[in-house]
Structure 1
Amino acid sequence: MAEEKEVVLTKEGLEKLENELEHLKSVKREEVAERIKQAIAFGDITENSEYEDAKNEQAFIEGRIISLEKTLKKARLMEDEDIRTDVVSLGSRITLKEMKSGREVTVTLVSSVESKLKDGKISDESPVGKAIMGKKVKSTVSVEAPAGTIKYKIIKVEK
């Protein structure tokens, strides 16, 4: 069996996953169990949409619990000293300048588990993340996108 890849998480990301797991186990599991119990009380479960919906939700919740437990088992908390400012690394806060438009954007490079573009957190496995990983300030990178190649200049790398 192949060894599973370590997942490096920020403190915030680790807490978020732990809280989600706790919520699923202590609240959502109970809620869906109650829904199943109520649906069974309606009688014949062969054509009972409430029962089917509750069982589907239960399967989703249990799958998510398993996924979170696996992720947390292989998780390592990113320490402040892990975050570099000489080159882009996980946890770095990077200011990028899109060369064509001159528009600047600041993002934080995180693992795919905690990436959320609307919060400015991009995955190290994304095209931009892969392109900037390990690069220094003033480096220019090219990223292939559906609309063509986009060039970025790394303006700043900070913790």
Structure 2
Amino acid sequence: MATIPLTVRGAQRLQAELHRLKTIERPAVISAIAEARSHGDLSENAEYDAARERQGFIEGRIAELDGTLSNAQLIDPAAHDAEGRVVFGSTVEIEDLDSGDKVTYQIVGDVEADIKANLISVSSPVARAMIGKSEGDVVSVNAPSGVREYEIVSVKYI
């Protein structure tokens, strides 16, 4: 399996989720299965079926997180000095040249991307357009509504 780029903060979030799944969720679902088994006939036991389904989800997520973390290449944005250029892990403020709206994104790996938290994937069109650019540069992004132009206002490594 290829290496998976992760920021240090992203890896910590995944490790915390893995710890919660192993120490809280897994024992709780095992207990729920045992409780449902105690009710007798398993062929028509909805509680048992739901608990087994939940267990399958938890075990699958644990395996996925273990695989991701074991193949992770940790990148600490604060340790990089890319001389003002946009690189993986950069926190970039951009301004939409049409509307004047400003937004700040951090460029992260695919597994830690979360648009609600302003974490965009390095493989997203916006991030791909910005990689290698510097403050003051204008980038064009092909969006479903047409080509959008953004100016890079600031680049930070935090």
Aligned equivalents of 1:83 and 1:108: distance in 2? 16
Aligned residue type for 1:58: Q
TM-score, normalised to structure 2's length?
A: 0.91
Tell me the number of residue pairs that the alignment of Structure 1 and Structure 2 aligns: 156
Aligned residue type for 2:100: G
Which of 92, 107, 121 matches 1:109?
Answer: 107
Match status 1:59 vs 2:56: yes
Which of 130, 133, 147 matches 2:131?
Answer: 133
The answer to whether the Cα contact below 8 Å between 1:83 and 1:89 also exists between their aligned partners in 2 is no
Aligned equivalents of 1:43 and 1:124: distance in 2? 51
**Cα 1:115–1:23 shift into 2, 3 Å:** same
Aligned residue type for 2:148: I
The answer to whether the Cα contact below 8 Å between 1:90 and 1:109 also exists between their aligned partners in 2 is yes
Which of 82, 85, 89 matches 1:84?
Answer: 82
Aligned residue type for 2:32: R
> Secondary structure, in 3 states, of the residue corresponding to 1:125?
coil
Residue of structure 2 equivalent to 1:13: 10
Residue of structure 2 equivalent to 1:36: 33
Aligned equivalents of 2:15 and 2:40: distance in 1? 37
Aligned equivalents of 1:83 and 1:49: distance in 2? 56
**Residue 96 of structure 1, CA deviation:** 0.5
**Cα 1:82–1:132 shift into 2, 3 Å:** same
Residue of structure 2 equivalent to 1:149: 147
Residue of structure 2 equivalent to 1:99: 97
Aligned equivalents of 2:80 and 2:46: distance in 1? 51
Aligned residue type for 1:6: T
Match status 1:70 vs 2:49: no
- For structure 1, the residue ranges without an aligned partner over 5 or more in a row are none
The answer to whether the Cα contact below 8 Å between 1:94 and 1:155 also exists between their aligned partners in 2 is yes
**Cα 1:9–1:106 shift into 2, 3 Å:** same
**Cα 1:117–1:83 shift into 2, 3 Å:** farther
> Secondary structure, in 3 states, of the residue corresponding to 1:70?
helix
